[in-house]
Amino acid sequence: MYGFPKSELGNIREDEEEQFKKMAKHVLSLTDAQLSELVANGQFEEVAKDGQEISQ
C-alpha cells in the first residue's frame, strides 16, 4: 500500500499505477498460508480496522 498527502503529490504516475496493479494481482492471488508466512517473517504487516484486535 502506498499513501501520500494530496497536498504533496497530485497523483501517482502512470508507470507507478501499472506497477501497483501488477502487485495487487500478485498479492490477491496469495494463499492464506503464504500470507501468514509473509506476516510471520515481517515482509507483510496485518492492519486492524477501526482499532479492532487482530485474531491470531
Q: For residues 12 and 2, is the Cβ–Cβ distance under 8 A? A: yes
Q: If you ran DSSP here, which 8-state letter would residue 16 be given?
A: H
Q: How confident is the model at residue 47, as a pLDDT?
A: 81
d(CA 45, CA 49): 13
The C-alpha atoms of residue 27 and residue 31 are separated, in whole angstroms, by 9
The predicted-structure confidence for 1-44, as pLDDT tens digits, reads as follows: 656 666 666 788 899 889 989 999 999 999 999 999 999 999 99
The pLDDT of residue 31 is 96
Domain ranges of the chain: 1-30
| The predicted structure's pLDDT at residue 1 | 60
Q: Please, which pLDDT band fits residue 56 given cuts at 50, 70 and 90?
A: low
CA distances from 16 to 6, 11, 53 (A): 16, 10, 32
pLDDT bin (cut points 50, 70, 90) of residue 50 is confident
